[in-house]
Amino acid sequence: MADLADVEAALVGLATTALYPDGQTATSAVGVDCRIYRGWPTPAALDADLRTGKVNVTVCPDSAPGQTLTRYTSEWFGTPTIPALSVSVAGNTVDFSGTADVGQVAGILFANRTFVYRTVAGDTPSTVAANLAVFIRARQVVQLSGATLTIPGASNVVARVVADSSVAQEVRRQSHDVRITCWCPTPSLRDSAVAAIDSALASRVFIALPDSSQAHIAYKNTTVFDQSQNASLYRRDLIYTAEYPTILSVSAPAMLFGDLALNAIDVSV
């Protein structure tokens, strides 16, 4: 779930790339050392950097309050996970293969009844077959050989494997202004640093967040502070508005067969 801290971190990354296009081990785009970080600088550290000709770039929320843009709860969305465990059926024989990773469900259907097993840590195709055999034997004879089950007399046997999938829902959408501040020892460095960062941000419409969502960014305004009380400080702020979602992600099981009998109990599976 992304929040404002993730937006700030993404903007720090973009500003770093703008000032160090060849990597942080190379010379910066403005020719001097640059420190780019979240938060507000401490006066002592900032003064020390300015005296040695360094540029500081900070990213922090603007003082203006954010806005909640949520109107309606959105639908759940996600992509089905392909199971690592496989199953094949030949007549009344069911054979399992592959990898029995945690989070998978194997099921066998015949005579309008289902027999289902959820994998646990340490399972193999053979243990999956063995556990299903236990359920089936409560109703009729079943032969087990390694990862293969044979059900004498059974017809129209169906076997399937599904895996839990990650699904998500946008539960809130909000916007917040973020201030990117360049603290520089000279006016020319201030202008160069701001131009590099603003160019990088202006070319982006969306920025990626850690939860795989996207934040929309848009330029809002610029403020300049040339403070007479500190002759070595030349400051300019870029303010961008970031609109981003709050997403709830959960692991959801998949359906195997529908409304039938699970391990001899009538439920939906």
Tell me the mean pLDDT in the region 193-214: 93
Residue type, 131: N
pTM: 0.68
Alpha carbons 89 and 155: distance in angstroms, whole number: 11
CATH code where residue 189 lies: 3.30.2000.10
Coil, strand or helix: which one is 11?
helix
Does residue 158 carry a pLDDT above 80? yes
**Model confidence pLDDT, tens digit, residues 97-132:** 999 999 999 999 998 889 999 999 999 999 999 999
Total Cβ atoms within 10 A of residue 66 = 16
Domain identity same for 184 and 52? yes
Residue 257 lies in a domain: no
Q: Are residues 29 and 62 in the same domain?
A: yes
- Point out the least confidently predicted range of 30-39, 96-105, 185-194, 207-216: 207-216
**Whether residue 101 sits in one domain with residue 114:** yes
Residue range(s) defining the domain that contains residue 131:
82-163
Distances (CA, A) of 24 to 28, 32, 34, 153, 212: 7, 12, 9, 70, 25
The reply to whether 13 and 66 lie within a common domain is yes
Classify 44 as helix, strand or coil. Answer: helix
Q: Residues 19, 11: contact at Cβ < 8 Å?
A: no
Number of domains in the chain: 2
Last residue of a domain, one of 143, 163, 183: 163
- Asked if pLDDT for residue 269 goes beyond 50, the answer is no
Of 163, 189, 208, the domain-final residue: 163
Out of 113, 133, 163, a domain closes at 163
Distance, CA of 6 to CA of 211 (rounded, Å) = 9
- For the residues 196-205, what does the mean pLDDT come to? 94
The answer to whether position 130 is within a domain reads: yes
Look at the block and give the residue holding tokens 């969305």.
Answer: 77
Q: Are residues 86 and 52 in the same domain?
A: no
Between 68 and 160, name the one with better pLDDT.
160
Query: Which residues, including other chains, have CB under 8 Å from residue 111's CB and lie 6 or more apart?
Result: 154
12-63 pLDDT tens trace: 999 999 999 999 999 999 999 999 999 999 999 999 999 999 999 999 999 8
